[in-house]
Amino acid sequence: MEYQEKLLPREKVFRDPVLNYIYVQHQVILDLINTKEFQRLRRIKQLGPASYTFHGAEHSRFTHSLGVYEITRRICDGFLRNYPSKVAGDGLWDDSQRLVALCAALLHDIGHGAYSHTFEHIFGTNHEAITQEIITSEKTEVNQVLSKISPSFPKEVASVIDHTYPNKQVVQMISSQCDADRMDYLLRDAYNTGANYGNFDLTRILRVMRPYEGGICFEINGMHAVEDYIISRLQMYMQVYFHPVSRSMEVILSHLLQRAKELASQLDKNDRLTPHLLMPFFKNDFTIDDYLKLDDGVLNTYFINWIDSDDKILSDLADRFINRKPLKSVEYNNETESLIPTMQKWIQEAGFETTYYTAVNNSFDLPYDAYDPNKKHHATQIELRRNDGTMIELSKISQLVSAVTGKHLGDERFFFPKEMLSKDSDIDLFEPVYQEFQKHIKNDELIK
């Protein structure tokens, strides 16, 4: 039996708190799970510093990746049962595409690094590009497993990740406005954070999902389930992903890494404070092997050591991050934005280096993006299939989705040290500075 067709003697299951059972039937999937590159994802939190806000959010990229694989497997099973292709080009499901879809689903996040989004911002890495490199590089165990299918198979899987794979159904399973990736992370993040408003009817959505020549659409009688999914996504972004405390911890992490990068020459002393595994990134001369050695635990170990650093800023930021001492923040808008330089001046006078102890941060999300011919880039539309076989885009028939279509929801916040709010803090906060700062914090309800 060829490796491509090799099934396990008995299917393997992973017990999952969100999806109940995750079924593995193909040898290639089990072999991919057992690669060192995939196992690394166990050591990277799905939500990064959000666990400082939602203490249950300790789940990993590993569990999410398994979940995306399982939802994709269920989609393939549903398509095969109800919409199998009869003739080439009929727009229905060709099950020979199953394996590339399952592998791409499983590996879609394999390039995420330690505290990935913050790390990417500081060091200029790109997790999607690194995902493709891990899949296509002959040095990786992942590539060696995929190459057993065929020499070209790794590139096929990578092309699903970068949206160039010719079968739109496979691409949209993993990357669209209603895909296996988003569906899993919404349910999984809701479960682990305790945010029930992130739940939606996955079973119903999979039931009304179907293939067509343009990709994937949904039966119109399932519109309300899709609406519920869109609103659940909106709520999760507003209440969980954009939570001010989580964003504050990301600001501290970003400034901590930035300070370490600027002190790189001083840190490279071959003592216990030297971050050996980070030095290639400080010097902007790293390889894929360097990247794969990093995880959240490695960075946290360095942060713990840096608490003892002679550099007061590095030491303090490391302490704030490891021991959860978030910055405070207040919303600002076009009318109040002009006050920020003045507030930074007072913070500087209080003894804080504003480069490291203040930040402006905006977090906005587009709950649903309808097609606009004037835009160069837009997301794949959610198409509903009428009983006569014609299609209509979701926001044209759903008043609920239409109300949030194209609207960027979120806020802009100014972050500052908590000590600025209290004269009883450890810093010597002069009375005039304290009074002036308080004068411009107009609404205590906005401070978080």
Taking alpha carbons only, the member of 67, 135, 69, 73 closest to residue 98 is 73
Please state, rounded to an integer, the average pLDDT across all residues of the chain: 90
Taking alpha carbons only, the member of 244, 255, 200 closest to residue 226 is 200
Residue 317 contacts residue 261 (beta carbons within 8 Å): no
Q: Which residues of the chain have pLDDT under 50?
A: 373, 444-445
For residue 193, give Cα distances in angstroms to 47, 163, 199.
10, 31, 12
pLDDT at 152: 96
Q: Which amino acid is at 359?
A: A
pLDDT at 267: 87
In angstroms, the CA 163 to CA 171 distance is 6
Residue 387 contacts residue 219 (beta carbons within 8 Å): no
What element of type H or E holds 403? helix 399-404
Question: Which domains does the chain carry?
Answer: 3-241 (1.10.3210.10), 244-326 (1.20.1250.30)
Burial group, residue 346, by CB count within 10 angstroms (0-12, 13-18, 19+): buried
pLDDT at 426: 53
pLDDT at 349: 84
Residue 168 contacts residue 372 (beta carbons within 8 Å): no
Taking residue 333's Cβ as centre, other Cβ atoms within 10 Å add up to 8
Taking alpha carbons only, the member of 174, 16, 37, 14 closest to residue 100 is 174
Q: What is the pLDDT of residues 51-76, one digit of tens each?
A: 999 999 999 999 999 999 999 999 99
pLDDT at 167: 96
Return the biggest CA–CA distance within the chain: 80
pLDDT at 373: 45
Rounded to 10 deg, the angle between the 127-136 and 98-107 helix axes is 130
